Amino acid sequence: MTPHATVVESLRQEGYRLTPQRMMILDIINDSVSHMSAEEIHQKVRERYPFVNISTVYRTLNLLKRLRLISETDLGEGYVRYELLERERHHHLVCRRCGESFALEHDFLKPLQLRLLKKYGFAADLDHFAIFGLCQRCRSGEGTAAAGKEGQHGAD
Amino acid sequence: MTPHATVVESLRQEGYRLTPQRMMILDIINDSVSHMSAEEIHQKVRERYPFVNISTVYRTLNLLKRLRLISETDLGEGYVRYELLERERHHHLVCRRCGESFALEHDFLKPLQLRLLKKYGFAADLDHFAIFGLCQRCRSGEGTAAAGKEGQHGAD
DNA sequence: ATGCATGCAAATTGTTTGCACTTCA
DNA sequence: TGAAGTGCAAACAATTTGCATGCAT
């Protein structure tokens, strides 16, 4: 599948070249069901064409990020995940105890976004947020305490 | 100034030792006006007692974080900042273009926190959030584009 | 042709860890 | 006295960068 036309056009319009590497990386991100890490993207790209360097992946990711074509999300895993911004907005509730991650509809954050815009004229990038806390199960004491990461991490 | 009694007691009650290093680190965090990086804390501590190692700082910070006595905030600077959780909650709006940071009262996030609790039973750690976006000035085109960090970064 | 893009390897950097020594409870 | 805490240095791992080469426009 080819990257959605808008992404490609965004690149061209800004004067960036559409190299095979960038195409492949875009393809991968576009095809993926969920958000991927740089390493995962690199692996996938190499399955098709083994000579793409990880630094190229990072450089492309940074470019797309700067152009706001992809979002960057820190789920507290020690690396960040990327995803096309075209996708339907969604967010995550991440339990700091058991590590479980729950989806959160974007509508949940819309009021906040709107208030920030109205009161401060601040256009928040609430594209793909991660909110840390304690899930219901862990709160009620029966937490599995599996892969719990401590602390409050970033939303992208 | 001595760390607030509650913090000290929290430590003791959990069975942790109250070593001079931990005291000093707590003092520093407590005295500081704003949130500090691990490196800054280390520097300050060394002004008083030059033999405290950076790894001890990190270990102490992680301990306090685990006990939820301090918050960890990622302002997109490449390192995280720490702060006593006793403090009055506040958050940040960080402009991705000019890098400027604006304070945001906690009341702004309370509705979200409440809704997450009610609907999902999820107790969000909305202690010290950072929300990235475009500030009013930059939106109106007169952005200074000073230290702009690209991408969407985490709240702590 | 010419400057943007890539590959490669080395560097960076915040943070963590292993281990021996120390010290508090 | 014995586990918890510390110092030190080395390890880590994700990401970035310098530079020579290559390719798109």
Residue of A nearest to B100 (CA): A122
Domains of chain B: 1-87 (1.10.10.10), 89-156 (3.30.1490.190)
Q: CA–C1' span, A119 to D7, in Å?
A: 50
Is B136's CB less than 7 Å from nucleic acid strand D?
no
* B77, burial (CB in 10 Å: exposed 0-12, middle 13-18, buried 19+): middle
Residue A142 is encoded by which pair of tokens? 């029966």
pLDDT value of position A146: 45
Please give the protein residue whose CA is closest to the C1' of the nucleotide C6. A56
Mean pLDDT, to the nearest integer, of B25-39? 92
- Using CA atoms, how far apart are residues B131 and B94, in angstroms rounded to an integer? 6
pLDDT value of position A9: 85
- Using CA atoms, how far apart are residues A10 and A141, in angstroms rounded to an integer? 49
pLDDT value of position B5: 72
Beta bridge partners of B37: B81
Residue type, A44: K
Q: CA–C1' span, B76 to C17, in Å?
A: 26
Which residues does B119 contact at the CB level (< 8 Å), separation at least 6? none
Residue with more model confidence, B117 or A143: B117
Q: Which of residues 20-59 of B touch strand D (CB under 7 A)?
A: 21-22, 51-53, 55-56, 59
Question: If pLDDT is split at 50, 70 and 90, which confidence band does A149 have?
Answer: very low
pLDDT value of position B13: 84
Q: Which of A109, A115, A123 sits opposite B133 (nearest CB)?
A: A123
Q: pTM above the 0.75 mark?
A: yes
Are B79 and B62 in contact, with CB atoms under 8 Å apart?
no
Whether residue B146 has pLDDT greater than 60 = no
A90 Ramachandran zone, left/alpha/beta (phi>0; psi -120 to 50): beta
Does A108 sit within 8 Å of B112, measured CB to CB? yes
Question: If pLDDT is split at 50, 70 and 90, which confidence band does B4 have?
Answer: low
B110 touches chain A (CB under 8 A): no
Beta bridge partners of B74: B80
Q: CA–C1' span, A14 to D22, in Å?
A: 22
- The 10s digit of each residue's pLDDT in B103-115 is 999 999 999 999 9
pLDDT value of position B33: 85
Q: CA–C1' span, A43 to D23, in Å?
A: 24
- The 10s digit of each residue's pLDDT in A103-146 is 999 999 999 999 999 999 999 999 999 999 999 999 997 654 44
Q: What are the helix and strand counts (H, E) for chain B?
A: 6, 7
Q: Which positions in strand D are less than 7 Å from the protein's CB atoms?
A: 4-10, 13-18, 23-25
Whether residue B132 has pLDDT greater than 50 = yes
pLDDT value of position A147: 41
- Using CA atoms, how far apart are residues A20 and A24, in angstroms rounded to an integer? 6
- With beta carbons under 8 A apart, name residues in chain B contacting A111: 111-112
pLDDT value of position A133: 96
- The 10s digit of each residue's pLDDT in A14-72 is 889 999 999 999 999 999 988 999 999 999 999 988 899 999 999 999 999 999 999 99
Q: Which of B72, B93, B120 sits opposite A136 (nearest CB)?
A: B120
Q: Which of A93, A115, A155 sits opposite B154 (nearest CB)?
A: A155
- Using CA atoms, how far apart are residues B57 and B24, in angstroms rounded to an integer? 10
The whole-chain average pLDDT of chain B stands at: 87
Least-confidence region, from A8-22, A64-78, B2-16: B2-16
B130 touches chain A (CB under 8 A): yes
Outline where DSSP puts E strands in A54-140.
70-74, 80-84, 90-95, 101-105, 123-124, 130-134
Q: Whose structure tokens read 């958000």? A: A35
